[in-house]
Chains A and B, each alone.
Chain A
Amino acid sequence: MARGQTLFLHGPSGSGKSTLLGLLAGVLAPSSGDVHILDASFGSMSAAVRDRFRANHLGYIFQQFNLLPFLTPVENVLLGCAWSAERSKRAGGTHARMVEEAQRLLAALGLGAHIWSRAKTGELSVGQQQRVAAARALMGGPELLLADEPTSALDASSRDAFLKLLLDECGLHGTSVVFVSHDMALARHFDRSVALASVPQES
C-alpha cells in the first residue's frame, strides 16, 4: 500500500477485521509471521517500542465510545498527540498552537466553535462524537489512519458527508487510510477495496 493511498476493507462479521486492525496498530502480536508497516517491522520491536510507534505514526478511530467523557472536545483531540513528541511538534509544538490546530481540525470536520466550546463531550451527538474522534486520530498528521467501522452509528447522509471531510483532511496531510466496514456502499470513496474473507493474510 502506497503512502497517501486509501484502502477499504470489508468482510462479514467474525472475519478478523478488528483483529487485523489490532495487528496493524501493534497492540496485538501475531502468533506467526510479521507485520511490516511504514518501513518498520513490528516483529523486531518490543511492546513498549510498538506503543511509541503507534503514538507517533498511527491514528485510530473506534466504532463507538471513542472519547473520554470527562474531557472537553478540544482536550480529547489534544489526547491524539499527548503521548508523542513528534506529533506534538507537527501539530504546532506549543500548547497554544496545538489547541489552535485541534480547533482547526474540528472545524474542518464540520464541528463549529459554537458546538465544541460550550458542550461537554458527553452531551454531543454520536455523529459529533465521531467527528471529534476523527479529529483526534488526525491530530499531528499521522502517516496512517486506522478506522474500525466509524460510520456504523451514522445515517446515510451524514455518513457520506463525514467520510468526505475525513478523506479530504487525510489527503491534506498525505495520510494513508485503512477503513474497515461491512457497508459496501462506502467502497466508492476509496482507492482500493479488499474483501477480507478472500484475503485472510493481509498486512
Chain B
Amino acid sequence: MRLLSLTLKSMRQRKAGVALTIFTVALSVFLLLGVERVRTDARQGFASTVSGTDLLVGARSGPVTLLLYAIFHVGEATNNITWKSYQDIRSMPEVAWTVPLSLGDSHRGFRVTGTTSDFFVHYHYGRGNPLAFARGRPFSDLYDAVIGSEVARQLHYKVGDRIVLSHGLGGANLASHADKPFRISGVLSPTGTPVDASIAVSLEAIEAIHVDWHSGIRLPGMEASADQARHMDLTPKAITATLVGLHSRLSAFAVQSAINDYPEEPLLAVLPGVALGELWHLVGTAESALRVVSAMVLLVGMSGMLTALLGMLGERRREMAVLRAVGASTKAVFALLVMESTLLTVAGMAAGVLLLDAITAIAHNYLLATLGLVIDQSPAPGEWPLLVLVLALGSLAGCIPGWIAYRRSLADGLQVRL
C-alpha cells in the first residue's frame, strides 16, 4: 500500500512522461486489437454471407461451384433446376420455406437475381440480420427492381429511376431487354455480402423479359411488348438455385441426401456453412497475410511500449538510492518499478480498448458502406490472449529496470549515479 501510494505520487510528478507512455501503450494495443478484430470479422463476415439458410440447392456440380455462382455471383451455372423439381423440394414436409434464385441477366456489370419477395424475408447474413431497405420497398409490380447498396452508390441510382437489363452476364455486345425497362422500387442497406452488388427482380419479371426469346436469341416476328407480356403465362420453366429453410435443423442431413438422390434430375444440396468453410480455405491467403501484419504490429507495438516504459523508469534511479538508504529492501525497489510499469500498461490497455471501441463505433457504417466490412463492437475471442500478452510484457518491462536497479544497488551501494 505504501509502495502503491509512493508510485502514484511519483507518477503524478511525471505527468507528461506518464501520459506519453500511456498513449504509446494505448496505440500499440489499439493496433494489435484492431488488426485482430478486422481479421476475425472479415472471416466471420465471409462465413456468414448466408446465415439462417439450412440448404442451398442447385444443379449437380461441386459445393464450392454452386456456392460461387448462386451466392457470390462468380461464374455461371452449368445447369438449371426445373420448376417441377423446385415444386417437389418446396412440398417436402421438412421444408419450411424456399427462396428461388434465377440468374443469367445483368445490368452494367451487376448481376440480376430473379427471386420472390420471400428473399427479403428469409435471406439473412451475419448474425441473423435480415435485409433492410435504405429507401423504397420490395418489388410489387412486374417491372419493379430492388438494387443493392453498391449498385446505388456506383451508378447513382435512386428510387423511381428506370433501368434496362441485359441478356447475359458480361462481355461487349450484350443484347438488351430495352423493350421492357424496369423501375427501381427500393434500395437495400449495405450488408457486406454479394447482395450489395446485385439487383433483385421477381421470377415472373425474368420470365417476362424472355417470353419472346429462345436459346438466347430474340425470335423475330414473335415480339411481345411489355404490356402484352403481363397477360402471358409467366410461370418459370426453370430456376438456377434455391435457398431452403427447414423446420428443424436436425433434418438437414436427411433432406440433403433426399435431394441428392432425387430421381428425376441430378441435384446437389449443400450446407452453406460447410461450403463457405471450404471456400474460405481457397481465399485463406488473405487471412494469412493479415496474420503476418498482426505479428508485425505486435512486434513494433511491443517494442514501442518497452522503449517508453524503460525510458520512463530510467528517470527513477535517483529515487531508488534514497529509498534504499531509508531501509527499503531491493525487493521493494524491484516491486516499485514493476508496479509502475504494470500500472502504466493497464492504463494504456484500457485507453487502447476504449479508443478501438470508439473508432469502430464511429467507422462502423463507413466501413460497411465503402468496404463491405462488418466490424463488430464486441471483442473477438483472439483479443483476450493478446491483452494478457500485452500485460505480461508490460510487467516484464518493469522487471528489466527493476533488475538493473537491483544489480546496481548491490554493486554501487548508496551512491547516486546519474
Kindly state the separation between the CA atoms of A27 and B6 in the bound complex, as whole angstroms: 22
Cβ–Cβ contact A70 & B13, under 8 A: yes
Whether A27 touches B413, Cβ cut-off 8 Å, given contacts A65-B318, A66-B322, A70-B10, is yes
A92-111 contacts to B, CB under 8 A, are: none
Kindly state the separation between the CA atoms of A45 and B282 in the bound complex, as whole angstroms: 68
Kindly state the separation between the CA atoms of A148 and B322 in the bound complex, as whole angstroms: 13
Q: Is A126 an interface residue (CB 8 A)?
A: no
- B409 surroundings in chain A (CB, below 8 A): 27
Whether A52 touches B327, Cβ cut-off 8 Å, given contacts A25-B414, A65-B416, A68-B10, is yes
A69-87 contacts to B, CB under 8 A, are: 69-71, 79-80, 82-84
Stretch among A31-39, A54-62, A183-191 lining the B interface: A54-62
Residues of B at under 8 Å CB distance from A? Answer: 2, 6, 9-10, 12-13, 318-319, 321-332, 409-410, 412-416, 418
Q: How far is the CB of B123 from chain A (nearest CB, A)?
A: 63
- A152 surroundings in chain B (CB, below 8 A): none
- A47 surroundings in chain B (CB, below 8 A): 329-330, 410
Cβ–Cβ contact A70 & B326, under 8 A: no
User: B411 — nearest CB in chain A belongs to which residue?
Assistant: A28
Q: Is A64 an interface residue (CB 8 A)?
A: yes
- A71 surroundings in chain B (CB, below 8 A): 9
Q: Is A18 an interface residue (CB 8 A)?
A: yes
Enumerate 13 A-B pairs (CB-CB under 8 Å) in ascending A order.
Answer: A18-B413, A21-B414, A47-B330, A51-B329, A51-B330, A65-B321, A65-B322, A65-B418, A68-B6, A70-B12, A79-B322, A79-B326, A148-B414
- A158 surroundings in chain B (CB, below 8 A): none
Cβ–Cβ contact A84 & B327, under 8 A: yes
The 8 closest A-B pairs by CB, nearest first: A55-B327, A22-B413, A70-B13, A83-B327, A51-B329, A60-B325, A28-B413, A27-B413
User: A29 — nearest CB in chain B belongs to which residue?
Assistant: B410
Kindly state the separation between the CA atoms of A79 and B326 in the bound complex, as whole angstroms: 7
Q: Is A48 an interface residue (CB 8 A)?
A: yes
Kindly state the separation between the CA atoms of A66 and B325 in the bound complex, as whole angstroms: 10
User: A52 — nearest CB in chain B belongs to which residue?
Assistant: B327
Cβ–Cβ contact A62 & B414, under 8 A: yes
Q: How far is the CB of B344 from chain A (nearest CB, A)?
A: 16
- B418 surroundings in chain A (CB, below 8 A): 65
Q: How far is the CB of A192 from chain B (nearest CB, A)?
A: 23
- A60 surroundings in chain B (CB, below 8 A): 325-326, 414
Cβ–Cβ contact B416 & A83, under 8 A: no
- A62 surroundings in chain B (CB, below 8 A): 321-322, 325, 414, 416
Q: How far is the CB of A122 from chain B (nearest CB, A)?
A: 8
Kindly state the separation between the CA atoms of A27 and B322 in the bound complex, as whole angstroms: 12
Q: Is A134 an interface residue (CB 8 A)?
A: no
Cβ–Cβ contact A54 & B327, under 8 A: yes
Partner of A82, one of B2, B324, B412: B2
Q: Is A19 an interface residue (CB 8 A)?
A: yes
Q: How far is the CB of B203 from chain A (nearest CB, A)?
A: 77
Interface string of A1-38 (1 = CB under 8 A from B): 00000000000000000110111010111000000000
Kindly state the separation between the CA atoms of A55 and B326 in the bound complex, as whole angstroms: 6
- 11 A-B pairs besides A21-B414, A58-B327 with CB distance below 8 A are A22-B413, A25-B325, A27-B409, A29-B410, A47-B410, A60-B414, A62-B414, A66-B322, A70-B9, A82-B2, A83-B327
Q: How far is the CB of B140 from chain A (nearest CB, A)?
A: 74
- A22 surroundings in chain B (CB, below 8 A): 412-415
Kindly state the separation between the CA atoms of A148 and B416 in the bound complex, as whole angstroms: 11
Q: How far is the CB of B227 from chain A (nearest CB, A)?
A: 88
Q: How far is the CB of A173 from chain B (nearest CB, A)?
A: 17
Kindly state the separation between the CA atoms of A175 and B332 in the bound complex, as whole angstroms: 27
Q: Is A67 an interface residue (CB 8 A)?
A: yes
User: B327 — nearest CB in chain A belongs to which residue?
Assistant: A55
- A65 surroundings in chain B (CB, below 8 A): 318, 321-322, 416, 418
Q: How far is the CB of A38 from chain B (nearest CB, A)?
A: 15
- A55 surroundings in chain B (CB, below 8 A): 326-328
Kindly state the separation between the CA atoms of A79 and B322 in the bound complex, as whole angstroms: 10
Q: Is A136 an interface residue (CB 8 A)?
A: yes
Kindly state the separation between the CA atoms of A56 and B331 in the bound complex, as whole angstroms: 17
User: A76 — nearest CB in chain B belongs to which residue?
Assistant: B322
Kindly state the separation between the CA atoms of A115 and B125 in the bound complex, as whole angstroms: 72
- B412 surroundings in chain A (CB, below 8 A): 22
Q: How far is the CB of B331 from chain A (nearest CB, A)?
A: 7
Partner of B13, one of A48, A58, A69, A79: A69
Kindly state the separation between the CA atoms of A62 and B331 in the bound complex, as whole angstroms: 22
Cβ–Cβ contact B327 & A56, under 8 A: yes
User: B2 — nearest CB in chain A belongs to which residue?
Assistant: A82
Cβ–Cβ contact B416 & A25, under 8 A: no
- B410 surroundings in chain A (CB, below 8 A): 27-29, 47
